[in-house]
Structure 1
Amino acid sequence: MNKQIKVALLGLGVVGSGVANAIITKSEYIKKHLGVSIFIESVLVRDRRKSRNVLLPNSVYVDSIDDILDNPEIDVVIEVMGGENPALDYILQSIKKGKNVVTANKEVIAKHGPEIFATANSNGVRVLFEASVAGGTPIVSPLMRDLVANDIISIRAIINGTTNYILTKMAKEGLNYKQVLSEAQSLGYAESDPTNDVEGIDAAYKLAILSMIGFRSTINVDDIYTEGITALESNDFKYASELGYDIKLLAMSELNNAGITARVHPVFIEQNEMLANVDGVLNAVEIETDLTDKVLFHGPGAGSNPTTSAIMADIFTISRNLIDNIPMIDPLRFIETRKLVSINELISKYYLRIEAKNQPGVLGIIASILGKYEISISSFIQKEAIDGDKYAELVIMTHEAKEEFINKATLDIKDLDTVKDVNNIIRVIG
């Protein structure tokens, strides 16, 4: 075995720079720990002449992927470009050239994981992707290694730091969504275009990866029910607190006889639940299995340092495997085909916030509509009047009901002359 593991970086943004600096500043530790050094052979960038805050010679910068693909000295390609293309193409080309790959790219793994792993398997190389889900919180490796003897029953996760920060601030300070989003953007917690975060898309990518590994099944990310946080209002948080709940954006998947249910949406979660107490930009993944019951992985998510930590762990793993000549393990080697169950089949409790005329008999009419669809009321509160005394907010908590029936009942309630609007519907867990 050579005394060096040679790597190439695809991209040198915030994360790429963090990885490069870690390899450089921790060189003595790496050599002591692995018995070999890790050497940055090439870095793919758009502009080779741009000044960078990384202590690398100009000779390592290349602007063509071919310079990396055609270099037989490179053992590991580290993809930190982000986005679907050209990252997917570069990953597949690297694999076909016999290079191992480390990636933090959730979109690529979520959408194309089976193709990537099959290509890696046929070319005898490794693809690791710990950083693609929860940043600095290890979860991919524990699922594939430490929980391998378990049957996974369910996955519940807070895996988007931006939305968790926004929801925490709305809950604790009574601020509205737009106020907190603006603050999150100024602090660097939210992108200038926050769509992927606040609409739940980022969390859906990560849930697809967790479900793919946990249930050993292909998951089409487009089939995951996805709902963001933009419809939440300060009143929802106020009423949640009064009722003993917090509001979180959860990514959830469960396996039962019907198949896999995978969904991302806000929930009312009881305040004594572990996930209810995960605040700010932190991530948490709760895995329920047949052998361990519930296990919680909790820690930092996005950001340069947490992501660098996960990428470095994958680099170390591949380096050890290369040194000891350990073959790669295909994470989908025992893959099964399972049906993804429609959200309409979901059985859940629900919170409804309805703006209705402040007059006798309105609640009775609403209750009769719910009853028509086999939905029973667990509790209700008539809140303060709106628009003088003309309208009032009704907060209704239901017993378990079918999603399809809740949606039908909501349409009927909205059609009532005495109802101005159904302001929000939130699923309740715990």
Structure 2
Amino acid sequence: MMRTRPLKVALLGCGVVGSEVARIMTTHADDLAARIGAPVELAGVAVRRPDKVREGIAAELITTDATALVKRGDIDVVVEVIGGVEPARTLIRTAFEHGASVVSANKALLAQDGAGLYAAAEEHGKDLYYEAAVAGAIPLIRPLRESLAGDKINRVMGIVNGTTNFILDKMDTTGAGYQEALDEATALGYAEADPTADVEGYDAAAKAAILAGIAFHTRVRLDDVYREGMTEVTAADFASAKRMGCTIKLLAICERAADGESVTARVHPAMIPLSHPLASVREAYNAVFVEAEAAGRLMFYGPGAGGSPTASAVLGDLVAVCRNRLNEATGPGESAYTQLPVSPMGEVVTRYHISLDVADKPGVLAQVATVFAEHGVSIDTVRQQGKDGEASLVVVTHRAPDAALSGTVEALRKLDTVRGVASIMRVEGE
């Protein structure tokens, strides 16, 4: 039987995502009520610009006083889509204190203070759901913390930023340079006027922190995630990748150490074989590849951003939280029982693709090989091409600690015969 008293929802933020959440709540009201077991009512919408016309939202629901809205006491669920750390953190904590559960899409806040939010939710016996914070419409958070809760996850590797994937895909398929591909992404609305958060990897790093925390049942903060942007990736890098049967993606990689005693989380561009499922992810799509002990290899794929896809994830959480409210229950909270340390990037074992500009004369290759040997890094393949006294030397290594590889590169820069290090890129997915 359906309960007649509606569950009241407060919406914080009414931009691209918030307005779509409000629209779906209105147009699909009957379906949502049937799925939940009670009607849901939009009780208030907090915005910064109250004079802006918002189609489908009654004027009396609009307020600029977000704090008063979450303090009302009759609100069952607060949906937070304003982003940023403050005032979102204070508003969410206030919502818990005044009896509301929370659905959030705020990756930055969760990556920085997820533990504090979990603690506040538990203290007040309320839900904290955030499916939309990592990969838009792709169901990922719930499978990791519920469907795979009985399994041991060893690795999560994915493309979690649509802007960067669009740019790299265009560079790969059309031969465009970085700036040309970025300009196209901006014109199509995939890139912001200031794309720094995307192209420098900050957005992906926040998502990596969230994924690592859930996958490995430990606390991983944004500061724990190693980050490199993709602005230095060139057409020459893609040409080298193609010669190796690879392409280049900006990857978020979260791994459990072989001994199980630590974890790592990192974001950086990497070459991956064309045979890997992530290599075929095109345009602005996202995909996350999960390796679990019992389940094996799983891939989650779909649109990772945008108003409608993100709103879909928000509404999925809203339905789940509302059901919990009716049943006087809560969903899963924080699982950080392992308390595993996060190892620094230097301890990560990986492969490198290094392109050097060198003098075209006898003995150069021997000098370069000696530097690799002195740092304990084994060479897999070498390709050399020379002309008019100049040469390019491309070295692909076997797996070695990142610190050893970095030390090798620094020593190579000091050789008189090395004119410059043209490119350094990790090789993953093999």
Instruction: State whether TM-score is above 0.5.
Output: yes
Q: Which amino acid aligns with 1:177?
A: Y
Q: C-alpha separation between the residues in 1 aligned to 2:112 and 2:44?
A: 27
Q: What is the deviation of 1:336?
A: 2.5
Q: What is the deviation of 1:20?
A: 0.6
Q: C-alpha separation between the residues in 1 aligned to 2:225 and 2:51?
A: 43
SS of equivalent to 2:366: helix
Q: What is the deviation of 1:325?
A: 2.2
Q: Equivalences for 1:22-101 in 2 at 5 Å?
A: 22-52=24-54, 54-101=55-102
Q: C-alpha separation between the residues in 2 aligned to 1:383 and 1:59?
A: 71
- Given that residues 144 and 331 in structure 1 are in contact (C-alpha distance below 8 angstroms), is that contact kept between their aligned partners in structure 2? no
Q: What is the deviation of 1:69?
A: 2.5
Q: C-alpha separation between the residues in 2 aligned to 1:128 and 1:219?
A: 18
Name the structure 2 match of 1:171. 172
Root mean square deviation, CA, Å = 1.3
Name the structure 1 match of 2:220. 219
SS of equivalent to 2:203: helix
Q: What is the deviation of 1:355?
A: 1.0
- Given that residues 347 and 402 in structure 1 are in contact (C-alpha distance below 8 angstroms), is that contact kept between their aligned partners in structure 2? yes
Name the structure 2 match of 1:418. 417
Which stretch of the first structure deviates more once superposed, 65-74 or 183-192?
Answer: 65-74
SS of equivalent to 1:117: helix
Match of 1:269 among 263, 268, 272: 272
Q: C-alpha separation between the residues in 1 aligned to 2:416 and 2:390?
A: 12
| 1:104 corresponds to 2:108 | no
- Given that residues 283 and 298 in structure 1 are in contact (C-alpha distance below 8 angstroms), is that contact kept between their aligned partners in structure 2? yes
Q: C-alpha separation between the residues in 1 aligned to 2:91 and 2:7?
A: 20
Describe the superposition over 1:284-325 as per-residue Cα deviations: whole angstroms up to 9, x where unpaired: 111111111111111110100110000000000011111222
SS of equivalent to 2:210: helix
Name the structure 1 match of 2:393. 394
Q: C-alpha separation between the residues in 2 aligned to 1:48 and 1:222?
A: 36
List gaps (5 residues or longer) in structure 2. Answer: none
Match of 1:279 among 282, 292, 295: 282
Q: C-alpha separation between the residues in 2 aligned to 1:176 and 1:189?
A: 17
- Given that residues 6 and 73 in structure 1 are in contact (C-alpha distance below 8 angstroms), is that contact kept between their aligned partners in structure 2? yes
Q: Which amino acid aligns with 1:123?
A: H
Q: C-alpha separation between the residues in 2 aligned to 1:413 and 1:217?
A: 38
Name the structure 1 match of 2:293. 290
Name the structure 1 match of 2:9. 7
Q: What is the deviation of 1:192?
A: 1.0
Name the structure 1 match of 2:137. 136
Name the structure 2 match of 1:317. 320
Q: C-alpha separation between the residues in 1 aligned to 2:4 and 2:216?
A: 38
Q: What is the deviation of 1:384?
A: 6.0
SS of equivalent to 1:314: helix
Q: Which amino acid aligns with 1:327?
A: T
Name the structure 2 match of 1:203. 204
Q: Which amino acid aligns with 1:379?
A: T
List gaps (5 residues or longer) in structure 1. Answer: none
Q: C-alpha separation between the residues in 2 aligned to 1:138 and 1:327?
A: 19
Query: How many residues of Structure 1 are paired with residues of Structure 2 in the alignment?
Result: 425
Q: C-alpha separation between the residues in 1 aligned to 2:299 and 2:405?
A: 31
- Given that residues 159 and 286 in structure 2 are in contact (C-alpha distance below 8 angstroms), is that contact kept between their aligned partners in structure 1? yes
SS of equivalent to 2:121: helix
Q: What is the deviation of 1:419?
A: 1.4
- Given that residues 130 and 141 in structure 1 are in contact (C-alpha distance below 8 angstroms), is that contact kept between their aligned partners in structure 2? yes
Q: C-alpha separation between the residues in 2 aligned to 1:384 and 1:16?
A: 57
Match of 2:303 among 265, 279, 300: 300
Which stretch of the first structure deviates more once superposed, 351-360 or 200-209?
Answer: 351-360
- Runs of 4+ residues deviating >3 angstroms: none
Name the structure 2 match of 1:244. 245
Q: Which amino acid aligns with 1:416?
A: L
Using the size of structure 2 for normalisation, the TM-score is 0.96
SS of equivalent to 2:139: coil
- Given that residues 113 and 221 in structure 2 are in contact (C-alpha distance below 8 angstroms), is that contact kept between their aligned partners in structure 1? no
Describe the superposition over 1:110-142 as per-residue Cα deviations: whole angstroms up to 9, x where unpaired: 111111011101101111000000000010011
Q: C-alpha separation between the residues in 2 aligned to 1:404 and 1:362?
A: 24
SS of equivalent to 2:373: helix
% identical aligned pairs:
37
Using the size of structure 1 for normalisation, the TM-score is 0.96
Q: C-alpha separation between the residues in 2 aligned to 1:169 and 1:384?
A: 29
Q: C-alpha separation between the residues in 1 aligned to 2:49 and 2:108?
A: 25
Which stretch of the first structure deviates more once superposed, 224-233 or 397-406?
Answer: 397-406
- Given that residues 157 and 252 in structure 1 are in contact (C-alpha distance below 8 angstroms), is that contact kept between their aligned partners in structure 2? yes
- Given that residues 47 and 66 in structure 2 are in contact (C-alpha distance below 8 angstroms), is that contact kept between their aligned partners in structure 1? no
Name the structure 2 match of 1:407. 406
Name the structure 1 match of 2:230. 229
Q: What is the deviation of 1:2?
A: 4.9
SS of equivalent to 1:231: coil
- Given that residues 8 and 78 in structure 1 are in contact (C-alpha distance below 8 angstroms), is that contact kept between their aligned partners in structure 2? yes
